[in-house]
Amino acid sequence: MKLRGLIASQWDRVRAARADVLTTRVRIEEVAASLAETRAELAATRTALAELAQRTAAEHDRTLEAVAESGTELAAMRTELAALQERSAGEHRRTMEALRVVRDDDSAAWESLWRLRRSDDYALAFEEEEPLVSVIMATYMDWELMRERALPALVAQTYERFECIVVGDAAPPEAEKAVSSFGDERLRFVNLPYRGPYPDDPRDAWLVSGTGPCNTGLALARGRWILYGADDDALRPTCLEALLELARAERAEVAYGQLLLHRPVGEDYVLGVFPPKLEQWGTQGALMHAGLPFLWEDPSDWLFDVPNDWSMADKMLRIGVRFAMLEEPVVDYYPSRLWGDRPDPRPEFDWRPAPAPTREPSS
């Protein structure tokens, strides 16, 4: 009995083990089926990803092509815009030049010039033994430099028959005291009741600075020759004598010399070329026939973005005024924008030295 019971117990265990094996096989088959499904899904996913990558690459290529086409179109538009801007700027310059010619009435000025040349007074400027030279000096707040630099250089001129009309642009009382301190009858002071008026923009105001005082001095001048002096520069001792000699020798209606520009930092250098050019010309170094009908400075020059002194020279060049240049400095030039503490109204000007001067016969 015990043996039978033992055998029965062992069979029960065998049957249970077989059942476990069958159950395990079923589970393995289920896992295998699930794994097959997973593999199929993974293959499908890989296929989908490959198709997506292919589509993305194609779209990327199309995007790059579109970007390249847009870049080409943008470059073409920029080129076209630059050309349009250049044409517009050129048309604007021509329009402004035409308006300047209309304002200045070049035809009438040319006729006035030839009437002057046929007059008796015209010749006296060249033929008088010692013609009077009128130096016109506009001033505002630089009365100290005028007293210490500009006026001492003027009274030390080797040519002594001159008058100097200092015109204050509503200058302080110190300006008149500076002039009277020399006790020289050739120097006189006139003060305007108000300054300017000038444009609000500092650069525009600089373009026409001193216009009122210079025109007032011109109205009061009695000389046969005019020189617009600067209250912060110094004429070389022979300036008036040398320029007058040049004007009479060459029958020039404007005789000018070079300016030695002094800088607080860096080397000094010479400004001045023949014929005159913008930024290479200054009225403080130019002796002009007093009969010229266009020595008046125009307060509207700022509208044309032209400095008043160059506007005058350009006008004279356009109608054929006779220029002659002395190829040596006649003025020590101290630009206020370099030496003063005021903001520079012309930051775009790099103060480059003048090219080597060239001479052409005066017409």
Strand-pairing partners, residue 188, are 165
Per the listing, tokens 């200054």 go with 282
Residue 167: strand, helix, or coil: strand
pLDDT in tens, 5-63: 777 777 778 788 788 778 878 888 787 888 788 788 878 888 887 888 888 788 888 87
pLDDT at position 180:
96
pLDDT in tens, 92-135: 777 777 776 677 778 898 999 999 999 988 999 999 999 999 99
pLDDT in tens, 153-193: 999 999 999 999 999 999 999 999 999 999 999 999 999 99
pLDDT tier at 362 (50, 70, 90 boundaries)?
very low
> What average pLDDT does the chain have?
86
Asked, as a colleague might, if the bond just before 213 is cis with ω within 30 of 0, I would say: no
pLDDT in tens, 337-353: 787 765 555 554 444 44
CB 167 within 8 A of CB 297: no
127/70: higher pLDDT = 127
Mean pLDDT across 248-270? 93
Per the listing, tokens 């008058």 go with 163
pLDDT at position 101:
66
| pLDDT exceeds 50 at position 206 | yes
Instruction: Write down how long the chain is.
Output: 363
CA pair distance 71, 314, nearest whole angstrom: 45
CA pair distance 344, 334, nearest whole angstrom: 14
What are the φ and ψ backbone dihedral angles of 104, each rounded to 5 degrees? -75, -15
| pLDDT exceeds 90 at position 266 | no
Q: Where are the alpha helices (DSSP H) in 208-279?
A: 211-220, 239-250
- Structure pTM? 0.73
pLDDT at position 345:
53
CB 228 within 8 A of CB 331: no
pLDDT in tens, 135-157: 999 999 999 999 999 999 999 99
User: Among residues 144, 148, 145, 192, which one has the least CA distance to residue 168?
Assistant: 192
